[in-house]
Every structure is written in C-alpha cells, then in structure tokens.
Chains A and B, each alone.
Chain A
Amino acid sequence: MSAVIDILISASFWAAVIRIASPLILATMGELICERAGVLNLGIEGIMVIGAFTGWMAVYQGLPLWGGVAVAMAAGMMFGLLHSTLTVPFGLSQHVVGLGVTLLATSSASFAYRLMLPEVTSPPKIAPFQPLNVPGLSDLPWLGDALSQTALTWAAFAVAGLVAWVLYRTPLGLAVRAVGEKPAAVEAQGLSVTGLRMGAVIVGSGLMAVGGAFLTLSAFSSFFFEMVNGRGWICIALVVFGAWKPGKAVLGAILFAAFDALQIRLQQTPLGAALPYQLFLALPFILSVLALILMSRRAEVPAALMVPYNKGER
C-alpha cells in the first residue's frame, strides 16, 4: 500500500500521467466534436495511425517538428473529408464507414512506410519535442518536475480549452451543439446541416491525427506498427465517460492516464511481479468497458448521433 502512495506523490508519476493523457485528450476532443455534431467517427483508430506516421515521416524528411504536426493534421483532415462525405451527404452507416476508414488509414500508413523505407529493419529515429522550460514554473519544486512537458502537451490542454470555449461561447459552437441534437432546427434557421457536420468531422479528424502524431513526435521518437494499439477506441469510451462535455472528458483522460501510469509502475513492484504483465496491459481496456457501463444510465447522448439527415425526409 505504501508503495502505491509513494508512487502517487512522486512528481515523475504525475509528469507521466500528463504525458500519457495528452494524445488521449487531443483525440478525445476530436471525437467529441464529431459526436456533438451527430457523427460517430470510428475512423479514429486509423486516423491516429496515419497522424503518427505522417507526422513522423514529415520530420524524418526534414520538416521542423511543428511542420510534422501540420502534416499530420492535414492527413487526418483528408480522411475526415472521406468519412464525412460518405456519412453526411450520403448518409451511409457510420459504423461501416468508420471501420472502413480505420482499415484504409491503417493500411495506407503500413503501405507508405514499406514504400518509403523498404530495407530498414528497425524504424529510424527523429529528434522529438523536448520538455519546455517555462520561466518561473520550471524552477518550482515538485510542480516544476510534474509540469516538465513538451509544447505539444501544453497544446493539447490548450486545444481542450479552445474546444470548450468554441462549443459553449460562440455562435459556431451553438450551431454544432444544435446540429447533433436536431438538424432540422439548424436548417430551419438557414444554416447548412451538411456543412456543419462535415466541418466538424474534418476538424475533429485533424485533432485525432495530431493525437496520433503526439506518439511519434513527443512521446516516442519513431514510428512502429501497432503503436496506437486501441487508443482510438479508448477515446470513444472517454467521450461517453465525459458525457460529451470537454471538461469532463479531459478529467476522464487524466484519470485514465493515471491508472495507466500506475500500472506501469506497479509492474515493477513485488506485487506486479507476482501477476502476469498482460493483466496490467489489459487494464486500460477493462477500465474503458467499466467506464461505459458506469455511464450507460446517465449519459446525455446527442439526440441525433448516428442519425443521418436527408432534407427530403423530415
């Protein structure tokens, strides 16, 4: 027990929590925007993969790190465009299209990787984002260590704040919240349901891809297959856990990251050695299922989530 407490009060633990939470926050915000507009984006897993790959490859080809982030975002938006074209004006099954986009994005990353690096056995490394030295903050005891984070982590939290502000404080956010609840209301007020939904999916997919790029540009320094490893699906659970609200979703991501960071450290304790390591690795997925069960009764689902809108049928 005291081992757990030691872990929980260490600055390095909280530094890890914030680091692990960052890509989840970015991708969760992306999914949240899509779902608030009424579109379930199951492309998230693949879009994170394509973001991780393109961001890393761009930097490997000589672009600056932020250039890599921009490339990842653009790639994510391309897949968002594909997803939303099929699901919004054509109203195709969001389940099937989402899975198709995930398969296409994942295999595109693998294909491009093999095409560009046919011979290598282990992927080349890039110089990733380094922890930012924030004057004043970095010198503080404990807090300075816990908040020793890269610029992309700070950006992730800034994005969450921005998403919340846009959703609840601007006319655009009002329209997005309305279109996921009652698209007919949006159209009756002279706004384009198709435009809003496609825009939300495209922007949301861009954020998911940046979440993926975090893995290659900030957390690790190279790309390998399977590196996203279900994080996208976990983010979908986090949106539900956060009741489709940005603030709660961020808290959920941090809570989730805390469990993840804890299990990594517990593996190294005597208790951890006694249990199979696979149990620890499965913990994030088990937690996600539990989160879904916990929130099932309380969730305030956007009323028009997964309901395509066709002008002709009201």
Chain B
Amino acid sequence: MSSTGPGAEVVLRLDRISKSFGALKANDAVSLTLRRGEVVALLGENGAGKTTLMNILFGHYLADDGGVEVFGQPLPPGKPKAALAAGVGMVHQHFTLAGNLTVLENIRLGTDALWSRGHGGARAKVERLSRDFGLAVHPDAKVGRLSVGERQRVEILKALYRDARILILDEPTAVLTPQESEALFATLRKATALGLSVIFISHKLHEVMAIADRCVVLRHGRVVGEVDTHATDKGQLAALMVGGELSLPRAEARVAGEVLMQLDRASTPDRGTVPGLRSVSLALRAGQITGLAGVSGNGQAALAEIIAGLALPASGSISLRGVPVARWTPGEALAQGVARIPEDRHHQGSIADFDLTENAVLESYRSRFSRRGWMNWRAAREFAQGIIRAYDVRCPGPETRIRLLSGGNMQKLILGRAMASDPVVILANQPVRGLDVGAIAYVQSQLIAARDRGAAVILVSEDLDEIIGLSDVIHVMSQGRLSPAFVRGTMTAAELGLWMAGQKFEGADAA
C-alpha cells in the first residue's frame, strides 16, 4: 500500500453534513473524504455551500446534522480549537491577520497558553518553515504593511506552525496574479510531497485542473459529482457546476462612438500599502464596454472613486464630453449622467434597514422626488414599484427592508436605480461578485443592452473570464499604472496575466 494516492490513509472524513440558515439549505448531506498527500478541489459556484462546509469543519458553525472525523477520531463540533489541535489549518478567503502585530506575533497568537510566559524557539521554527515551503516573509514585519501575496504566505505559515496536516484554502487565488498563483501551487506541491493533504476551494476550472487530484463538485448545497481530475475535462466540470448548459452572454463587437469621459494623467496618493494612480489616462467611448482587469488592490478602487464622483485626482484631470470638470461630487456625477454600480452593494450600494422605496430613491430623491425639501413619497413608491417590475426584483413589495433580499435581487434594484436616469457613462464595479449564475447572466445582459443603447460602460472585475467575455477594449491595472488599451480578441488570459503581474510595464517603461 502506497503512502499517498488512492490507497493512502484517509485523513479527513466529512459524513453527511447538513446545515440550514432559515429556509436556505446551505449544505445538504455533504460527504467528502481526503487522503494523505492528496489535493482535493471543492468546486462550486458562489453560494453553492463550499465556505459553509469548511466553516463547519473548522468549528465556526455548528452543523445541524452529520459528523467530522480527522485521522479516524471524531472532531467535537463548534470548536475551532479542536480542529486546530487535530491538525486542520484553514486559510480564509478574507485574511484573519491583525495588522498592528508582526508576522511572528500573528503566527504565535493562540499557540501558547494564555497564562504562560510563552516559549522560545518560535522564530527559528517560522524561519525553517518558510525555507522548507518556499514562503518568504520577514518575521518582524508589521502585517499591516505587507502585500496581499505576503499576507497569504503568513496565513499558510500560521497553519504550518501549528503542525497542520490538513490545509484548507478558501479561494486562495482570488487575490493573486496568475504568476503568484503558480508560486502558491509550488508551495502546495511541496506540502503534499511532505505528506500533507489539501482541500482547495475554488470556482476557477483551470486552477482545479492544474492542482487537484480529485474534484468534488457542490451545487445548491449538495454534492453533484466527484471525479478524478485526470479523467475529466473543464467542460464536464462546468456542466456539473452549473447544472446545465446555461451560457453567459458574450458581447459582440461594436463600432465605438465619441469619447464620453476622459481621464488625463490622473494621479492619486498611495493609501498605506495600496498604490494610488500613477498618471492614468483613460477614454471611455459611447457604445463600448471598457474592461478593467487586475488583481484587487492595484489602484482600481482609486480609479472607481474618481469616476463615481467621490474624489478628484490629486493631479491630472477628468473631463466629460471634452469639458473638464471642476466641481466633482457624487451628486454632480449623477447629474452629468454617470451611473454607478458600487463594488460593495451592502455597504456602499444600499442601506440595510431602509425599505426598497427608500433605497431606490437614494440617488435621486433631491432631483426627482422632492420639492423645496418636501419628499414626495407617493412618487418614490411608484418609482420603486417600476424598478421591481422592470428588473424582476423578487420581493414582497416596496416596503420590504432591503436586508431581507438575496444578493441577486439587491443588485437588480441597484441596477434598476442606476439605469433609471438613462446614464451616458456606467461604472460597473464587480457587478456580479457573489451572484448566482442566473443573476450574473441578467446583470451582464443589462450592461450589454446599455452599451447597445450608446452608453459608455466601464467594467471593473478581478475575473479575467468576465472581462474577456464582455469587454470591447481591455485595460490592465498594476501598481496604480494602466496598460494600453487592448482591443477584443487580441490578448490571451496568459498575456493579460503578465500585465497584471506588472512585468510588461517594466518592458514598456524601458522601451
């Protein structure tokens, strides 16, 4: 019997795990086994139940039913400490690092008894682990000053420091360039060669094919398939994942019109470790979708803020139809026909305890639903009802508080609100993040329709497939710099990846 591979010892067994949140069955009798030295991919769409499953395994949630066994021993539910002690290490999608502490302090946190003095030798162990696994990071650096890639290394070191034998990585590549992802895969291969086992959560098919031995596909909280990666292909996985042939809209090329919005050598100051804009020039044309690709935290937020009217560049200018703007606020942007779909629909795009009517008129209450400071709630309510009907927002009515809506329905309301003013420029910042496939297709088709009506759309996304599928021209952002415009069909994902990593910029700068 070999020590790794199909016959190897089972290190983790999830047995018929079920978990409901209210009416939603997040996990429905999910079972999974993981063997020594194996990488198992947990594949599924957003909302398929992957993260819930792992949170149960790690003790953050209590399962309604089912059990977890690690190295043959049942794991007591609801105790992260027990999972850690049993050798399970988790790298969360949103890092769990304290920025005011050093790398070493973050790694040691919780490893010594609270009422002890703590023991020595931690530094040596961290240094050895970072050598063995290829995870370069300085132990005394303040975590708040590290890049996203470095923080992820700290997260992995945290797990390894606790002698984790099972690593769970939740969407680890979402924040990495393709090249950084390769380095992560190298680390994972070293880990499995040393006998560790990995659960790799993702919805990116090519990554799953590249790194996983086996793949478990979740849909609507249930396991819908389990396949060896060398015995399958992307098409089969995709079909399992979405459960049908639902294809996303692809925009056909169009002839672009006049420049509606233009940024000219716009620069903004850095914010901590996040770079500001470095002399960015960008033209948004009528009848065109401009895709903005890049790893998050490379200046997209600063650019989006300028377009949305939240900030003016520190130097450089922004002009609309050739006229430079001087006063630039969200209200001014709205008045000029700039519609905004914000990156964070919960914190920026909506007010959770406001009802749909109030949320619908958030941007237009002054111009359209009030006179001399008096609100016209009747008109506001009719407006909200119009959006609900036209955009198929599933809800009991306009008096519903928006917090009770699903992400997709919330986004439809925000979309309807944005489109209601017949915008000439549309900023769509991560418009489909976290939505189910049906809602994604709907939102994307609306963006295409707006383009076909002659609007200039700028699509900011970390998902290269989305960018390539929808954009007429593509720019890449890296370290606050903007690449040249690439016309549809001239670039592959790999080439864009080199731009995302910043390598091509050096070449361009030198030339």
Contacts and interface: CB of A to CB of B under 8 A. Distances in A.
B108 A171 contact: yes
A297 to B, nearest CB: 16
A182 B80 CA distance: 16
Interface in A186-235: 186-191
Contacts of A311: 60
Contact of B80 (A181, A187, A314): A187
Interface string A163-191: 00000011110110110011011111111
A309 to B, nearest CB: 12
A171 B111 CA distance: 8
Q: Report whether over half of chain B's contact residues are helix, strand or loop; otherwise say mixed.
A: loop
A300 interface: yes
Contacts of B97: 182, 185
B407 to A, nearest CB: 14
A302 interface: yes
Interface in B339-353: none
Nearest to B92: A188
A170 to B, nearest CB: 6
A281 interface: no
Contact of B118 (A171, A178, A184, A185): A171
A302 B115 CA distance: 23
11 contacts: A170-B117, A171-B110, A171-B112, A175-B109, A181-B98, A184-B94, A185-B106, A189-B96, A189-B158, A191-B110, A314-B92
Given A186-B109, A190-B80, A172 B115 contact: yes
Contacts of A300: 100
A134 interface: no
A55 B118 CA distance: 36
A189 B117 contact: no
B363 interface: no
B236 interface: no
Interface string B402-419: 000000000000000000
Given A174-B109, A187-B80, A191-B110, 17 more contacts: A170-B114, A170-B116, A170-B117, A171-B110, A171-B114, A174-B101, A174-B108, A178-B106, A184-B94, A185-B98, A185-B106, A187-B60, A187-B96, A188-B90, A190-B80, A300-B100, A314-B94
Contacts of B90: 188
A300 B80 CA distance: 30
A175 B101 contact: no
A303 interface: yes
B110 A177 contact: no
A3 B148 CA distance: 59
Nearest to A300: B100
A185 B96 contact: yes
Contacts of A184: 92, 94, 96
Residue of A187, A188, A189, A190 ringed by the most chain B CB atoms within 10 A: A188
B192 to A, nearest CB: 23
Contacts of A302: 100
Nearest to B159: A188
A200 to B, nearest CB: 12
Contact of A171 (B94, B96, B113): B113
B115 A189 contact: no
A314 B94 CA distance: 8
Given A184-B94, A191-B109, A177 B101 contact: yes
Given A172-B114, A189-B110, A182 B60 contact: no
Nearest to A181: B98
A175 B81 contact: no
Interface in B75-130: 79-81, 83-85, 90, 92, 94, 96-101, 105-106, 108-118
A190 B98 contact: no
Nearest to B110: A189
B105 A174 contact: yes
Contacts of A190: 79-81, 83-85, 110
Contacts of B100: 177, 181, 300, 302-303
A113 B79 CA distance: 46
B167 to A, nearest CB: 14
Interface of B: 60, 79-81, 83-85, 90, 92, 94, 96-101, 105-106, 108-118, 158
Interface string A303-314: 100000001001
Nearest to A171: B112
Contacts of B108: 171, 174
A171 B112 CA distance: 6
A65 B384 CA distance: 68
Nearest to B116: A171
A251 B106 CA distance: 29
Contacts of B92: 184, 188, 314
A172 B94 CA distance: 24
Report, nearest first, the 4 A-B pairs whose CB atoms are least far apart. A189-B110, A190-B81, A188-B96, A171-B112
A182 B84 contact: no
Contacts of B116: 170-171
Contacts of A187: 60, 80, 96
B80 A177 contact: no
Contacts of A185: 96-98, 106, 109
A170 B94 CA distance: 27
A191 B81 CA distance: 7
Nearest to A179: B98
Interface centre among B97, B111, B114, B118 (most CB of A within 10 A): B114
A311 B116 CA distance: 27
B239 to A, nearest CB: 32
A184 B155 CA distance: 13
Contacts of B99: 181-182, 303
A298 to B, nearest CB: 15
Interface in A279-304: 300, 302-303
B56 to A, nearest CB: 12
Interface centre among A175, A178, A311 (most CB of B within 10 A): A178
Nearest to B59: A190
Contacts of A169: 117
A154 B324 CA distance: 66
Contacts of B115: 171-172
A158 to B, nearest CB: 19
B98 A182 contact: yes
Contacts of B158: 189
A314 B84 CA distance: 19
A226 B405 CA distance: 51
B84 to A, nearest CB: 5
Contacts of B96: 182, 184-185, 187-189
Contacts of A172: 114-115
Contact of A178 (B60, B94, B109, B112): B109
A314 B90 CA distance: 15
A182 to B, nearest CB: 4
A155 B298 CA distance: 51
B195 to A, nearest CB: 23
